[in-house]
Amino acid sequence: MWHRYDSASPLLTEKDWNNCSFIEKTHWGYYCWPKDMKSYAPFDEQPKLDRSREELTELEGVVFDHFTDEKFVSKLIEYFSLEERKGKDKFCNRRFVMFKGLFRNYGDSILQVFKPHIERLATDSQESSQRCLTEIVAGLMRGSKHWGFQKTQALWEFLIPVLEKAFTHLGHETLKDWVYSLSTACESRDPRKLHWFLEWIIKDPIKGDGGSILDASRLMILKACLCQQEWRIPTIQHKLLSYLEGHMDHNYKNVRDCMGSCICKLYNNRCMLQSHLLMSSLQSHHAAVNIRRADAQRQGYSLSRLSDFFQRTFSRVGALRDSDDWVAQLSNGSGQVKEEKQGTVRLLKTVMRWLRDALGTMIRPLPAEFFLFLPLLTPLESCEADEELQNETNLTLACMAQSLLEEGSVLPCIKALEEIASGKSWRAKCSMLKYLQVMIFNNLFVLGKQHENVKRVQDLVERLLKDDRLEVRETAGVTLSGLLHCQFISMESKVKGPFEKLCKTALPNRSKRLRLVAVDGAATDAIVQRHAGILGLSACVQAFPYDVPDWMPQILMDLTDHLHDPQPIEMTVRKTLSDFRRTHHDNWHEHKQQFTDDQLVILTDLLVSPCYYA
């Protein structure tokens, strides 16, 4: 694309500068061109910028005389550097517009008077002085939009050292002003005119010379500037991505968060539409040919594919995947993260920040590549050894679960869930089941019509109902209840049959059962099988908290038959009956019509507590 900036061929001569057709509007050419596109005339055809005092109009002369007067400019800068309201002052747009107009109308003829003040402000750490500098710099960068090559090059030879000095005094009070100043200066500007600034600002932003606060501040300013250029600086983005990849395991959280946010912005404009949707929007075959040709020309020139970046990042954190129990792998006996895992864990935290920012700003459904990280994240939700890691994981999984899926992403998602279910970490299984509940509820209309995937989800949940770990079985029961409640799984699909069969699993007698527990230290397989059946029937009951379908009375009677079974079966039955009483209490005068007299007698004996004074 001819109007994008290429680091390999910057405009370094006046001839190239004058022969270049600059396109200032960032949105032009992204997917179409305006019907009547106009660009600025070359510099030699523009109105004369270097005018003598005699060539100015009377009003222009008055302004020129004042802003070339050193005493006037000194008093003006002194006034602009005063603090008006401590803690409440901010970047002033009116001053910025004034400086922009001055440098636009008079060029660099008045810059010599301002240079000493700009250099002095850059070395002053006072908040008000730094704010004044941001207003001048923004006005200077915007006002130099139509300067010639020689003047622009000289400007950046002066301005870049000034910015380097000023950035050593970045603080919390002035960071927002610098972000606003430089992002405003880069807005709707052709990146080929700003290549000196763009190449400088991406040069080693994480220097570490001023601590993590300065590193994070430079990254925030960098992100704000590059966001304004969006898709027009692919080689700059490629350089920055390569640089950030080498620092993703940084020691400090504020720097990692800024890196994750930067990576998100780098890929924010890569909206990959499905091919059939793209082709249907084209009006002619000729347009399709042009798009394919343009795509071919961009190979090797633009930012690496998102899937490639996912694979590279995943290969770096994938070493953690070899462990059956993540929490045990990440922590030693004292509860601290192992030394050899710290770098990988920090890298994973950066990745999670990037994923969350991407999920919040994407204009497309969740890409299939995101599910590569799902098996890595689910075990860490309950990691108490690192509270920050636990919180980051909870937030990331919550954002992923609430994101929309496209049809092509459903199968990779289910495969990732099945991989977790087949693992050995019970914490990961519980986390996965909670994720599954939210994910299905937010994508009910996409998933509901894919009958094969509905069956896979049902089989997955029913398999976890038989898990050896009690926590997994109980979470699977809650998940099944939710799926039945939102009719993702229909009660007409003979759901109850397998559970009724499991409830009839024969248990060993009490003495034998106690002997097995003493030897194995765990419940027998028969108890697990019967408990799975009880949980399944309980899920059917709890899926209808405000109604009594025709099949429910018999299920309740079946559950009452297991009130004297060993734990945890008895506890599950009692909880189900208690919940049934609570949810159906208000309309019990209607619901009891669904029960026979014998069934009502049994329920009354179980649900109504005997009178204390009886």
Tell me which of 235, 264, 279 is where a domain ends: 235
Q: Residue 111: name the closest of 99, 129, 94 by CA.
A: 99
Mean pLDDT of 605-612: 61
For residue 354, being part of any structural domain is answered with: no
Mean pLDDT of 598-610: 76
pLDDT value at position 293? 40
Query: Hey, how many other C-beta atoms are within 10 angstroms of the C-beta on 90?
Result: 12
Tell me which of 213, 235, 257 is where a domain ends: 235
Q: Of 49-58, 111-120, 176-185, 505-514, which range is least confident?
A: 505-514
Tens-place pLDDT, residues 136-145: 999 999 999 9
The pTM score is 0.84
Angle between helices 387-401 and 426-442 (to 10 degrees): 30
Query: Is pLDDT of 292 > 60?
Result: no
For residue 358, being part of any structural domain is answered with: no
Q: How far is residue 181's CA from residue 133's CA, in Å, rounded to a whole number?
A: 9
For residue 400, being part of any structural domain is answered with: no
Query: Is pLDDT of 174 > 70?
Result: yes
For residue 141, being part of any structural domain is answered with: yes
Tens-place pLDDT, residues 35-91: 888 888 877 788 888 888 888 999 999 999 999 999 999 999 999 999 888 878 899
Which domain range does residue 103 map to?
1-235
For residue 402, being part of any structural domain is answered with: no
- How does residue 329 score in pLDDT terms, banded at 50, 70 and 90? low
pLDDT value at position 421? 94
Q: Of 55-69, 314-328, 556-570, which range is least confident?
A: 314-328
> How many domains does one find in the chain?
2
Mean pLDDT of 160-167: 95
Tens-place pLDDT, residues 435-461: 999 999 999 988 888 889 999 999 999
pLDDT value at position 612? 43
pLDDT value at position 391? 92
For residue 316, being part of any structural domain is answered with: no
Angle between helices 525-542 and 569-584 (to 10 degrees): 10
Give the phi and the psi of residue 298 in degrees, each rounded to 5: -80, -10
Mean pLDDT of 30-37: 85
For residue 280, being part of any structural domain is answered with: no
For residue 385, being part of any structural domain is answered with: no
Tell me which of 186, 216, 235 is where a domain ends: 235
Give the phi and the psi of residue 339 in degrees, each rounded to 5: -60, -45
Tens-place pLDDT, residues 260-281: 999 999 888 765 544 444 445 4
Q: Of 216-230, 359-373, 417-431, 434-448, which range is least confident?
A: 359-373
CATH code of the domain in which 517 resides: 1.25.10
